[in-house]
Amino acid sequence: MELAAFQQQMRTLYGERDRERGLARTFAWFTEECGELSRALFRGDHTDRLREFGDVLAWLASLADQAGVDLASAAERYGTGCPRCAAAPCACVRPGA
Ligand SMILES: [Zn+2]
């Protein structure tokens, strides 16, 4: 599924409810989902990770929608290379490397 279609689907499924909740409380839910993703990454199996990545993406799409940000446009920042050095793969000097 393309990012724009995914964001539209989240808007269709949850947009009205999410707007009623508001940006701050939606962000709180997003961070809760990030915690669940952390548990899936370090203590879960592949099925857990698949579910939690989907949930984090869903909440991220809701936040973007409420903030008036198109996720596909945001992703373009990385579309042609590293936003800092423009290379692919990134050629930036890593801190501590
Ligand atoms: Zn770079």
CA of 77 to the centre of ligand 1 (A): 12
Q: Are 82 and 92 in contact (CB under 8 A)?
A: yes
Q: Which residue in the block uniquely carries the two structure tokens 């940000």? A: 69
Beta strands in the chain (DSSP E): none
- Alpha-carbon distance 42 to 47, whole Å? 13
pLDDT 10s digits, 6-46: 999 999 999 999 999 999 999 999 999 999 999 999 999 99
More confident residue, 76 or 97: 76
CA of 81 to the centre of ligand 1 (A): 8
Counting residues of the chain whose pLDDT is more than 70, the rounded percentage is 97
Nearest to 29 by CA among 68, 49, 56, 64: 56
pLDDT bracket for residue 94 (50, 70, 90): confident
CA of 58 to the centre of ligand 1 (A): 28
